[in-house]
Amino acid sequence: MKKKLIIFIIVCSLSLLTACQEQKETNEAGPLDGLFAGSELSYEEYKLIMEYIVDRAKDMEIENEELEKWVIRAIGDERLMNKRDLTKEEALKKAKYNQKYYETFMALAENKYNVTVSENEIDAWITEGPDQSEVPQHKAYAEALGLTLEELNHNYDRDLYEQTMVMKKLQSALQEEYDSTDVDEVSDRFHEEVEEQMK
C-alpha cells in the first residue's frame, strides 16, 4: 500500500509540474526513446538514467541552485516519459515555467484560500510516506544527486511534497469556490486560476 502511495505521489508531483504545458515535438528523438516503454526497470537501470539526467543538467552550468533543481526535474520528466532530451533553452524555459507555477500555486493557496501546511506536518507526512519508499526510481534519484533518501525528501524535494499536501487541503475550499465536487473539474479550474495569476 505504501509503495503505491509513493508512486502516486511521484506521478502527481510530475503531473502538477507539467500540467497543460505546450510541448514542441519537432526535436529529434533522444537515444533512449521507447527503450523502456511498458517495462519495469531495476534500480541499476534507473541509476544510469538518473545519473545521465543529473549530469546533463550539471553540464548546462546553471549558476542558480534553485533553478538548477527545476532544470533537473524538467530534464527528468522528459527523459522518464521516454520522449526526448531537452536542449538547454527548452530545459530552462520549462524549469522557469514550473518554478513560477509552483510559486504562484503556493501564494494563491495561502493568500486567497488561507491554506498552508506547517513544517511539522510536512516532516511527519514525509517520514510516514516518502521516507519509507522502496521505489527504485526514488532511491536512484537520491543517489544520482549525492543525497540520502531522507535528504532528498526532507530538503531537496520538500517543496513538491508541500505542494501535494497543500493541494489535498485545498480541495474542500476549491469545491466550495467552484461549486463542484468533481475532483478533475476542481483541479482544472484551479490550474486555470494559477495560470491567470502568472500573467
**Three-class SS of 78-117:** HHHCCCCCCCHHHHHHHHHHHHHHHHHHHHHHHHCCCCCC
Cell, residue 22: 505546450
Which tens digits make up the pLDDT trace of 3-48?
444 444 444 444 444 444 444 333 444 444 444 444 578 999 999 9
Instruction: Look at 18-22, 70-74, 95-99 and tell me which has the smallest mean pLDDT.
Output: 18-22
Q: State which amino acid sits at residue 130.
A: P
Q: How confident is the model at residue 82 (pLDDT cuts 50, 70, 90)?
A: low
Residue 1 placed within a domain: no
Q: What is the dihedral of CA 117, 123, 128, 132, to 10 degrees?
A: 130
- Return the higher-pLDDT residue of 122 and 2: 122
Exposure string of 138-155, with b = 16+ CB inside 10 Å and e = fewer, is bbbbbbbbebebeebbbe
- In this prediction, residue 75 carries a pLDDT of 96
* Residue 56, C-alpha cell as written in the block: 546533463
The pLDDT assigned to 104 comes to: 98
For 36-45, 117-126, 138-147, which range has the lowest pLDDT when averaged over its residues?
36-45
Q: How many domains does the chain have?
A: 1
pLDDT at 44 (0 to 100): 94
Q: Is residue 11 part of a domain?
A: no
> For the whole model, what pTM was predicted?
0.79
Q: What is the mean pLDDT of the chain?
A: 85
Rounded average pLDDT over 64-75: 97
Instruction: Give domain status of residue 35, yes or no.
Output: no
What is the pLDDT, as a whole number, of residue 81?
A: 86
The confidence band for 197, taking pLDDT boundaries of 50, 70 and 90, is very high
- Average the pLDDT over 158-166 and give the result: 97
Do the domain assignments include residue 113? Answer: yes
CA distance 2 to 106: 26
Q: State which residues form the domain around 54.
A: 40-198
Compute the C-alpha angle 65/68/72, nearest 5°. Answer: 140
User: What is the three-state SS of 125-179?
Assistant: HHHHCHHHCCCHHHHHHHHHCCCCHHHHHHHHCHHHHHHHHHHHHHHHHHHHHHC
pLDDT at res. 39 = 56
Grid cell 543538467 is found at: 57
Residue 102 lies in a domain: yes
In a domain, 21, yes or no: no
Residue 75, domain member (yes or no): yes
In a domain? residue 4? no
